[in-house]
Amino acid sequence: MVAYPADVIAELERKANLIRSHVIRMTRAAGSGHPGGSLSSTDLISALFFKVMNHRPSDPYWDDRDRFVLSKGHAAPAYYAALAESGYFPIDELMTLRKLNTRLQGHPSMNKLPGVEMSTGSLGQGLSVANGMGLAAKLDRKTHRIYCICGDGEMQSGQIWEAAMLGAHFELDNVTAFVDRNMLQIDGPTEKIMSIEPLADKWKAFGWNVIEIDGHDMRQILDACDRAKDTRSKPTMVIAHTVKGKGVSFMENALSFHGKTPNEEEAKKALKELGGEQ
């Protein structure tokens, strides 16, 4: 386990808070989008883009870059904010989210924006794509890694479990996936819509290395990524326990903000809580 200095953790937490502020501004300006699941996955995305992954914003198609697939494509606002803060495109462009002719589509488009490895949004497909990237890297004898974030409601998709079988069968130890386990999906609590528990036991039974963490604890996120890198012959699934709408008091655990954006007054309150400009 790497002992990350306190200043490294603090900077990642600062970045995550900045990403959250961007999410609020972007979805408010667009008048549509998915703030709840963007905010729950922000810490995972921030850790990956600002510490874990090898990537070059100045050379988006660098052959040896690590790949990232946002399988829960509706969390695009957090993804776009991380890309902009990394330097893939101007930060001012974030305010064009979902506008006519924008590159920032409601779900990520690989044909529109540098840094987007795969067009996603149809739930259940992203992990299969990540596995394909991992298998291709193995065949080409490449050492880059692939990271994928899935939603917990997405665990109800049959294709996820086909991907689970494939990843284990081909021993894709270069693939690290995360489940953003915020317990809520568009129609309600996951356990009422279609229970996915015992989730850890299921992934273990499918042959994956399973790690459970607090998905808002930067040290735990970084440690899980380090442990995944040290794992041989198995892909890793990190079950990240998160809070829908994390960081904004009235959005936390609020199902309504899965696909509803804050109004002007709510946006001001949210940005104040996050310490961002109003």
Name the pLDDT band for 236 (thresholds 50, 70, 90): very high
pLDDT of amino acid 59: 98
Whether the per-residue pLDDT at 278 is higher than 50: the answer is: no
105 pLDDT higher than 80: yes
Tokens representing 79? 């993804």
pLDDT classification of 276: cutoffs 50, 70, 90: low
Map out the domains of the chain with their CATH numbers.
6-274 (3.40.50.970)
Tens of pLDDT, residues 112-158: 999 999 999 999 999 999 999 999 999 999 999 999 999 999 999 99
pLDDT digits 0-9 by tens, 152-170: 999 999 999 999 999 999 9
Check residue 2 and give its pLDDT: 82
Average per-residue pLDDT in the chain? 97
Phi then psi for residue 150, to 5 deg, are: -110, 155
Range of lowest pLDDT (161-170, 207-216, 268-277): 268-277
Q: Is the pLDDT assigned to residue 64 strictly greater than 80?
A: yes
